[in-house]
A and B are shown apart, each in its own frame.
Chain A
Amino acid sequence: MNKLLLIIGREIKSKITNKTFIIMTILAPILITGFMAFIVKMSQAERTEQKVLVIDETHLFEGKLVGNDFVSITYSNERYEKMLDKFSEEGYTCLLWVTPTFLEGGDGSVKIFFKKSPGFAFQTYVRGQMEKIIYEQKLKANNIDPTVITNARQKVKLVLEKIDDKGRSKEQSSFELFGFFSGAFMMIFILMYGMMVFRSVMEEKTNRIVEVIISSVKPFQLMMGKIIGVAILGTMQFIVMGLTTLLLTTLLSGIFLKDIKTEMKKFDEQQELVKKQGITVDFAALEKFDGKLEMFDVLKKIEGIDFTEVFICFLLYFIGGYLFYSSLLAAIGSFVDSETDSQQFMMPVMLPLMAGYFISTKTILDPDSTLVFWGSMIPFTSPIVMMSRITSGVPLWEILLSITILYISFVGMVWISGKIYRTGILMYGKKTTWREVFKWLRY
């Protein structure tokens, strides 16, 4: 026992003093937060200010195009050829030219001249405004009140409620993308720490120190020491990274998401009003939020996730999946001689991990299919697949069963690996084949 602790201690110490390890622990939360911030930023409108000079030869839009916080509109009656060279000198960022044949005979195209490319959000904004103006114009021409049309449109929202065994139902905020990312993260984590064990085993073998060590401790102790050492290290690293990420995101979202959250609140209030007062409500007030609906949806889904549940499940599946795969990798590391010929022996690790990943992409379309069910039971794929469906309301018994299977399989895998390991680490210079490895099991 004492010796096992020594081995675990050495394993942790040798990794924790590694520069790459320290950098990784600090950098990963920053990268993850940065990535999330990037996504949020992308879904938000750009803030680049646009000063638009409009030359409207149809006079359709005059006085009707409105700007917002970052788009300002100026009208001009000059000829566009004349302004083409001058607009940027006069302080405009682009020139919007509506051709005289815009509607009649034209294909509905409007030209924007620019020096610096206007962003996609700006284009969407301008196009949306113009389409709306034409739409209302055309309706009026036919004596139809545009509000009638608007009110006639009803958005439908699907609310999924899962009924459990006791007949109770619970609103299910399934957030497939989040599940998918947790599955992918799980795969990366298992592989990352599993490879740590693999490399540590191979290092001892190629260093030829292994024979000295197993004359003091049992090979099984050495193998377990490594696996447990890296497990402790990984769990610590995971918790540190998880907490830092949480801290960073709370901090950042406090700063950057404040506006959106207040807007979302306003939107919710408006919706409440609609429900109470029926269609007599001012729809223009709701319309303001149109571009932000998706954003609200994502935020609501994030808020709907039970992070404690996800965190606990992730930790349990990570430890189980890691233990399972790392003992397999320890066995493989014991009989490969060099990193180059290790490739062919990595197949039994890479294939099931990839399979898990592919099954987890399927959970997005069909979270309750048979394939997904079995994928989340079989220990080779269960950590990845189960994580990917964790937000879609998996019954507790399934989670418990799959975790039990995973941990029992780990014990079996360690037993097999131990047998391979103790023979493998003393094999030098011989090309090992799978057939031989199976023979070692019977020693």
Chain B
Amino acid sequence: MSHILNIRNVSKNYSGHTALKNVSIDIPTNSIFGLLGPNGAGKTSLIRIINQITGPDTGEILFKGEKLSPKHIEQIGYLPEERGLYKKMTVGDQAMYLGQLKGLSKAEAKKRLLYWFDKFDMQSWWKKKVEELSKGMQQKVQFIVTVLHEPELLILDEPFSGFDPINAQLIRDEILELKKKGTTIIFSTHNMGSVEELCDNIALINKSEKILDGSVKDIKKTYRSNTYKVGFKGNVLGFTNALWTGAEILAKETDDDVNVFTVKLLNNLKSNDMLQAVLPTCEIVSFNELVPSMNDIFIMKVGKDTVETIKGSDTE
């Protein structure tokens, strides 16, 4: 697998605190990469280093195998978490300006903008001042100027915050379409739902250090705990006896005549082994493996104390 970005042993210190400690991450080409971590973990510092807004103290970053340098700026698109526009400038002028700053010619910027304005049905905004737009409308403009120069690497910091569900879906679709066209997307978020839905790979950063990375599929596999949810009708005592020492019952629920048990298999037992043991004693109604969600994994890795702050910020 080729990597668009290799982050190698990057450290960054500010006066008084460490923002990144020896972080190494590889980002595969043409994937959606989730950069996760609680507030203040160092995500934004890393993103700023990739954008060459600041430089690392030690370590290096390779962009398509080459050392990251100013010429790569035009191949990167960045939508910061704290994003804004010039309030007094018209939407069109502003979008043209930002597009040209990314190296587009005047004509090219205009052509592409007309395409996007048409696509998002916002042709009538061109001459409006930004202060006349609603927040959601402003975010659409921001998204367009981020992708206008068709960057190979797109970095989105909390792209969905502040969007209404309809616009969020619109952006989600755009992200998937950009991926289809070959763009690599790094996206930093607290929203674990969208991570599971969109990301191929993730890295989890906590307290300036990378504590987990890999493909979402693999990570979930690693964090499987051989736990199943079994729904059955029949004798509860018989069911527990049949499991005997092969499993541990974590939870019990009863809904009418259906019992739902959460069972963790021990001693490397397979699900079939368990089923064979209990089948004679009861009627199985449902059977599911309990796969941990990214949210569970996040909480497990980051720890309870920091999770509180994340929950707080999610409701922003």
Which A positions have Cβ atoms within 8 angstroms of B? 3, 6-7, 10, 13-14, 203-204, 207-209, 211-219, 426, 428, 436, 439
Contact = CB atoms under 8 A, between A and B. Distances in A.
B85 interface: yes
Contact of A207 (B80, B85, B98): B85
Contacts of B73: 215-216
A208 B83 contact: yes
B83 A14 contact: no
B288 to A, nearest CB: 44
A13 B100 CA distance: 16
Interface string B118-154: 0000000000000000000000001001100000000
Nearest to B74: A216
A432 B86 CA distance: 25
A215 B78 CA distance: 7
26 contacts: A3-B101, A6-B101, A10-B97, A13-B93, A14-B86, A14-B88, A204-B86, A207-B85, A208-B80, A209-B83, A209-B86, A211-B80, A212-B78, A212-B79, A212-B83, A212-B84, A212-B146, A213-B101, A215-B52, A215-B53, A215-B73, A216-B73, A216-B101, A217-B101, A426-B48, A428-B82
Given A208-B82, A215-B53, 15 more contacts: A6-B97, A6-B101, A14-B86, A14-B88, A207-B84, A208-B83, A209-B85, A209-B86, A211-B83, A212-B79, A212-B145, A212-B146, A215-B51, A216-B102, A219-B53
B87 interface: yes
A219 B53 CA distance: 8
B64 to A, nearest CB: 18
B58 to A, nearest CB: 14
B216 interface: no
A207 B87 CA distance: 8
Contacts of A439: 15
Nearest to A436: B15
Contact of A215 (B76, B82, B85, B93): B76
A211 B97 contact: no
Contacts, number: 60
A3 B105 CA distance: 11
A212 B78 CA distance: 7
Contacts of A13: 93
Contacts of B48: 426
Contacts of B79: 212
Contacts of B114: none
A6 B100 CA distance: 8
B170 interface: no
Contacts of B211: none
Listed from nearest, the 7 A-B pairs whose CB atoms lie closest are: A208-B84, A207-B84, A216-B101, A211-B80, A215-B78, A215-B51, A209-B84
Contacts of B249: none
B86 A216 contact: no
Contacts of A6: 97, 100-101
A204 B145 CA distance: 17
Contacts of A207: 84-87
Contacts of A215: 51-53, 73, 76, 78, 80
Contacts of A213: 98, 101
Contacts of A7: 101
A49 B134 CA distance: 66
Nearest to A7: B101
A428 B84 CA distance: 14
B101 A211 contact: no
Interface string B17-38: 0000000000000000000000
Contacts of A436: 15
Contacts of B78: 211-212, 215
A209 B98 CA distance: 10
A276 to B, nearest CB: 70
A365 to B, nearest CB: 47
A10 B84 CA distance: 17
A215 B86 CA distance: 16
A203 B15 CA distance: 27
B89 interface: yes
Nearest to A13: B93
Contacts of A14: 86, 88-89
A219 B76 CA distance: 17
Contacts of B101: 3, 6-7, 213, 216-217
Nearest to A3: B101
Interface in B89-103: 89, 93, 97-98, 100-102
A209 B97 CA distance: 12
A174 to B, nearest CB: 47
Nearest to A222: B101
Nearest to B76: A215
Interface string B100-117: 111000000000000000
B45 to A, nearest CB: 10
Contacts of A204: 86
Contacts of A10: 97
B104 to A, nearest CB: 11
B91 to A, nearest CB: 13
Nearest to A213: B101
Most buried by A among B70, B84, B98, B142: B84
Contacts of A216: 73, 98, 101-102
B123 to A, nearest CB: 23
Nearest to B73: A216
A187 B15 CA distance: 37
A428 B85 CA distance: 17
A6 B102 CA distance: 11
B95 to A, nearest CB: 12
A204 B70 CA distance: 22
Contacts of A217: 101
A88 B15 CA distance: 85
A207 B51 CA distance: 20
A212 B130 CA distance: 16
B296 to A, nearest CB: 32
B145 to A, nearest CB: 8
Identify the interface centre among A3, A207, A212, A219: most chain B CB within 10 Å of its CB: A212
Interface string B58-73: 0000000000001001
A10 to B, nearest CB: 5
A439 B83 CA distance: 27
A284 B105 CA distance: 80
Nearest to A207: B84
B249 to A, nearest CB: 49
A214 B52 CA distance: 9
A303 B73 CA distance: 59
